[in-house]
């Protein structure tokens, strides 16, 4: 018998708002978080827009230090790790589990990207030897002191955010980080959910973080022709399912959910935001950058989540799409929804909050799960903005432009990643304490 999982804490840091309240008012008012890049000089990059988080100050959200000190060296934590610390603190407070003893046996499962490269530091390291002729390999290992390169580089590891969270909350149980591209944090939440379902743990802190918005990230994705180049109209650049779309917009952020075994949550009278009821994952095994033309992995992930939750397709009242704003994803996702949901598909509203948040890559799935839970709680569907003229091959109800009221009890959220990773999560509305 599978155990049930309550979502008893939420935390989110995103370009449209920090904290659940601002995040949700941003999404339901249809506000875009995409702006010209001002964090660094984006001159010379083919893409000069991103959904950056502006004015973030870790100390507003937590007393966790924003820098790591070791052996007299000090190194600021990268944006991704700071977002994770803030989102986790919000979720932990929201769940009212302050007692660190409770966390000792908890599971921590994170989907996190790597920290950003400090290009100016790399430039210093790679160009140290000015005497070498052209074409010479940079003498990286010379004797010059480039501290704190070592600490900074180590803190770039994908496992850094989860490791610092484990330290902060005293989590001595399983601490895992996965990095399955754009599906990572949805997969992390799904795997933590499986552990609760199987009775392997009763409490989990799960989610993800990523800030893949540094110069090399923007350039790397731009060179793959994946990004929108609508530099003159940033707020209109991310336009999932719209005929005029030309790629996705890189975003950043973090989101954390506290998952709790249902009886545990009931015993302590926790407030339950929603019940996590299904997780499905499947792989395309087709091409590293392209989705399968029949979206076979996506279709099976959706179907598996529905089966895990023992749902009928017609019970589903809302789907938060992966919806990246690329021709390939938007069409394949639409096909996958038709294939997995059958005739019910046309009656179910589907929206892409990436139209506002941009694509936070490894953090996207967790951010979108929070959006999906808030939709259930408030009975409001966030819109797909910029959807002026739907792509004729995208024929579902994408909730264009404006948020919509709807009475519904069950929702799905999709996360599909580079490399053919596909994850779907299913959530059910709850009212008040767990019944």
Partner 1 sequence: MTANHVRVVVTGTGCISPIGQTAAETWSALLAGRSGVAPITSFDTNGSHPAYAAEVKDLSPEHTALPRRKLKMMGRQAQLAFVAVQEACADAGLSDAPSLDRERLGLILGVGMLNADVEELGRAIQRMRETTGKQFDQAAFNRAAACELLPLWLLRHIPNLAAAHAGIAIDAQGPSNTITTGCVAGANAIGEAARIIARGEADVVIAGGTDARVTPLATLRYRELGWLSTRSDCPPDAVSAPFDACASGFVNGEAAAVLVLESHVHAQRRGARIRAEVAGYAAANDARGMFQYDRGGRALRTAVARCAASLLRDANAIDGLFAPASGVRQLDVAAAAALDAVPGLEGPIAATRSLAGHTHAASAALDAVAAVQALGGHVLPSVRNLARPIAPLRFSRGERLTRALDSLIVGAYGFGGHGAALGLQRWHA
- Scan for tokens 């003159």, then name that residue: 232
- Of 15-23, 149-157, 252-260, 324-332, the window that binds partner 1 (rule: CB under 8 A) is 149-157
Applying CB under 8 A, which of residues 38, 67, 198, 307 lies at the interface with partner 1? 198
Question: Does residue number 286 form part of the binding site for partner 1 (CB under 8 A)?
Answer: yes
8 Å CB contact between 276 and 7: yes
Bridge partners of 252, per DSSP, are 211
State which of positions 44-63 bind partner 1 (CB under 8 A). Answer: 44-46
Min dist. Cβ of residue 343 to partner 1 (A)? 24
Question: Does residue number 267 form part of the binding site for partner 1 (CB under 8 A)?
Answer: no
Sequence-distant (6+) residues with CB within 8 A of 120 are: none
Question: Does residue number 167 form part of the binding site for partner 1 (CB under 8 A)?
Answer: yes
State which of positions 73-112 bind partner 1 (CB under 8 A). Answer: 108, 112
8 Å CB contact between 409 and 419: no
- CA proximity to 272, closest of 254, 260, 285, 288: 260
State which of positions 295-314 bind partner 1 (CB under 8 A). Answer: 296-297, 300
- One-character DSSP codes across 166-208: HHHHT--S-EEEE--GGGHHHHHHHHHHHHHHTTS-SEEEEEE
From the candidates 75, 182, 201, 394, which is the catalytic residue?
A: 182
User: What is residue 111's three-state secondary structure?
Assistant: strand
**Cα separation, 351 vs 335, whole angstroms:** 15
Min dist. Cβ of residue 259 to partner 1 (A)? 17
From the candidates 75, 292, 322, 394, which is the catalytic residue?
A: 322
**Cα separation, 14 vs 27, whole angstroms:** 10
Q: Please report which helix (H) or strand (E) contains residue 261, including its range.
A: strand 252-261
State which of positions 221-240 bind partner 1 (CB under 8 A). Answer: 221, 223-224
State which of positions 330-369 bind partner 1 (CB under 8 A). Answer: none
- Of 54-62, 140-148, 333-341, 366-374, the window that binds partner 1 (rule: CB under 8 A) is 140-148
When the beta carbons of 110 and 241 are compared against partner 1, the nearer one is: 110
Question: Does residue number 124 form part of the binding site for partner 1 (CB under 8 A)?
Answer: yes
Question: Does residue number 40 form part of the binding site for partner 1 (CB under 8 A)?
Answer: yes
| Active-site residue, 210 included | no
When the beta carbons of 69 and 244 are compared against partner 1, the nearer one is: 69
Cis before residue 396, ω within 30 degrees of 0?
Answer: no
Q: Please report which helix (H) or strand (E) contains residue 84, including its range.
A: helix 79-95
**Cα separation, 236 vs 228, whole angstroms:** 10
Question: Does residue number 149 form part of the binding site for partner 1 (CB under 8 A)?
Answer: yes
When the beta carbons of 175 and 319 are compared against partner 1, the nearer one is: 175
**Cα separation, 294 vs 121, whole angstroms:** 45
When the beta carbons of 18 and 184 are compared against partner 1, the nearer one is: 184
- Of 6-14, 168-176, 248-256, 382-390, the window that binds partner 1 (rule: CB under 8 A) is 168-176
| Active-site residue, 178 included | no
Question: Does residue number 420 form part of the binding site for partner 1 (CB under 8 A)?
Answer: yes
Q: Which residues are catalytic?
A: 182, 322, 359
């Amino acid at each position: 018998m599978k155990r049930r999982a309550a979502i008893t804490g939420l935390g989110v840091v995103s370009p449209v708002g920090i904290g659940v309240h601002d995040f949700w008012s941003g999404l339901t008012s249809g506000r875009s978080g995409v702006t010209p890049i001002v964090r660094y000089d984006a001159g010379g990059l083919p893409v000069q827009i991103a959904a950056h988080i502006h004015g973030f100050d870790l100390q507003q959200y937590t007393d966790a230090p924003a820098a790591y000190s070791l052996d007299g060296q000090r190194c600021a934590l990268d944006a991704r790790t700071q977002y994770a610390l803030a989102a986790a603190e919000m979720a932990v407070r929201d769940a009212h589990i302050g007692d660190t003893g409770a966390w000792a046996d908890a599971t921590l499962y994170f989907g996190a990207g790597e920290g950003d490269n400090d290009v100016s530091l790399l430039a210093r390291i790679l160009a140290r030897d000015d005497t070498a002729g052209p074409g010479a390999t940079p003498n990286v290992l010379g004797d010059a002191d480039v501290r704190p390169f070592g600490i900074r580089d180590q803190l770039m590891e994908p496992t850094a955010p989860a490791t610092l969270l484990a330290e902060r909350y005293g989590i001595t149980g399983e601490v895992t980080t996965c990095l399955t591209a754009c599906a990572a944090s949805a997969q992390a939440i799904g795997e933590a959910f499986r552990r609760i379902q199987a009775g392997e743990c009763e409490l989990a802190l799960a989610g993800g973080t990523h800030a893949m918005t540094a110069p090399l990230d923007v350039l790397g994705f731009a060179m793959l022709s994946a990004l929108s180049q609508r530099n003159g109209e940033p707020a209109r650049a991310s336009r999932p399912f719209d005929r005029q779309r030309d790629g996705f917009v890189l975003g950043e952020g973090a989101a954390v959910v506290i998952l709790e075994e249902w009886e545990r949550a009931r015993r302590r009278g926790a407030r339950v935001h929603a019940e996590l009821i299904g997780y499905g994952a499947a792989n395309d095994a087709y091409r590293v950058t392209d989705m399968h033309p029949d979206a076979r992995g996506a279709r099976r992930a959706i179907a598996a989540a529905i089966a895990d939750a023992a749902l009928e397709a017609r019970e589903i009242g809302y789907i938060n799409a992966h919806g990246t704003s690329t021709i390939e994803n938007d069409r394949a996702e639409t096909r996958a929804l038709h294939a997995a949901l059958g005739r019910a598909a046309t009656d179910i509203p589907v929206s892409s909050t990436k139209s506002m948040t941009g694509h936070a890559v490894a953090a996207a799935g967790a951010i979108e799960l929070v959006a999906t839970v808030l939709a259930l709680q408030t009975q409001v569907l966030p819109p797909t903005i910029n959807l002026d003229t739907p792509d004729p091959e995208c024929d579902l109800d994408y909730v264009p432009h404006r948020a919509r009221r709807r009475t519904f009890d069950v929702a799905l959220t999709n996360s599909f990643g580079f490399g053919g990773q596909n994850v779907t999560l299913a959530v059910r509305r709850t009212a008040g304490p767990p019944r």
